[in-house]
Amino acid sequence: MNPILEARGIRKSYYKNHIELPVLRGVDVAFAQGELTALVGRSGSGKSTLMHLLATLDQPDAGEVWFGGQRIDNLSRRQRDAYRNQQIGIIFQFYHLLPELSALENVLAPAMISRSVLGYFRERKSIIARGEAMLDRVGLLDRKTHKPCEMSGGEMQRVAIARSLMSAPQLLLADEPTGNLDTETGESILQLLRQLNVEDGLTIVMITHDDAIASRADRCYRMQDGLLVDRFRADVKADQQSPRQRVVA
């Protein structure tokens, strides 16, 4: 296995009224390049916190996070911002689109964030072209001027996926991407993610509480009470069937 993202001995506690609430109690996990990995667990098991740490949105109390052979949890703020902006894409359960911006502008947001006004205007054409290509990829090019409030949940999640693809990342972190959607729409989102995984070789880490969804991943880790308890359940399946075959089926 060639891990692109790795967590080593991660510990994280939250404090409420000076009482320590341990959320992660020494998690070691590695995510292989090109795989769709699922992190399953009940709510409160610490999976979201782990994802935040993997995305460097938060810092671990102990342990290290490695990305592409480099330790990233101790990077400077600026470097971590750049990591989130350039290397990874994040998808949330509640989509987190900016309500003032149209679909296309939401998709363009990461490119705008990484560039100055001048830089943006210099590359405007190519950036917009890429944004439209990403919207096309998720099948929403005809809705590019629509605001999030004019879209359904599934459409918003597609826009969020297009946004996460904007900076051509190597890794997608998806926090319950189907958690807020009905089964049918969730299914189409899952298929889209699998398609991205297969066609672009994108590494995807997907957090879910749904075993049925988790079972469709290449690999599956189960979390419970801040610890990784079962790391091989899905491996067997993954070995039996190649990802490409599963998409066709």
Q: Which residues bind another protein (CB under 8 A)?
A: 52, 55, 57-58, 77-78, 81-86, 90, 92, 94, 96-101, 105, 109-110, 112-117, 119-121, 163
Nearest-approach distance from CB 81 to another protein, in angstroms: 5
Nearest-approach distance from CB 110 to another protein, in angstroms: 5
Closest CB to another protein among 93 and 197? 93
Please, which residues have CB within 8 angstroms of residue 33's CB and are 6 or more apart in sequence?
2, 3, 4, 170, 201, 203
Tokens 């079972």 belong to residue: 215
Token couple for 30: 């590695």
The answer to whether 17 and 30 are in contact (CB under 8 A) is no
Nearest-approach distance from CB 176 to another protein, in angstroms: 12
Residues facing residue 52 across a β-bridge: none
CA-CA-CA-CA torsion for 212, 216, 220, 224, nearest 10 degrees?
Answer: -10
Closest CB to another protein among 117 and 236? 117
Closest CB to another protein among 173 and 192? 173
Q: What sign has the CA pseudo-torsion 141, 147, 148, 152? A: negative
The answer to whether 144 and 102 are in contact (CB under 8 A) is yes
The answer to whether 204 and 193 are in contact (CB under 8 A) is yes
Burial class (CB in 10 A: 0-12, 13-18, 19+), 162: buried
Closest CB to another protein among 130 and 219? 130
Closest CB to another protein among 164 and 208? 164
Tokens 């070995």 belong to residue: 239
Nearest-approach distance from CB 84 to another protein, in angstroms: 4
Q: Which amino acid is at 66?
A: W
Closest CB to another protein among 115 and 143? 115
Q: Would you give the DSSP letter of residue 207?
A: E
Closest CB to another protein among 52 and 246? 52
Nearest-approach distance from CB 207 to another protein, in angstroms: 13
Nearest-approach distance from CB 184 to another protein, in angstroms: 26
Nearest-approach distance from CB 58 to another protein, in angstroms: 5
- Residue 17 phi, psi (nearest 5): 50, 45
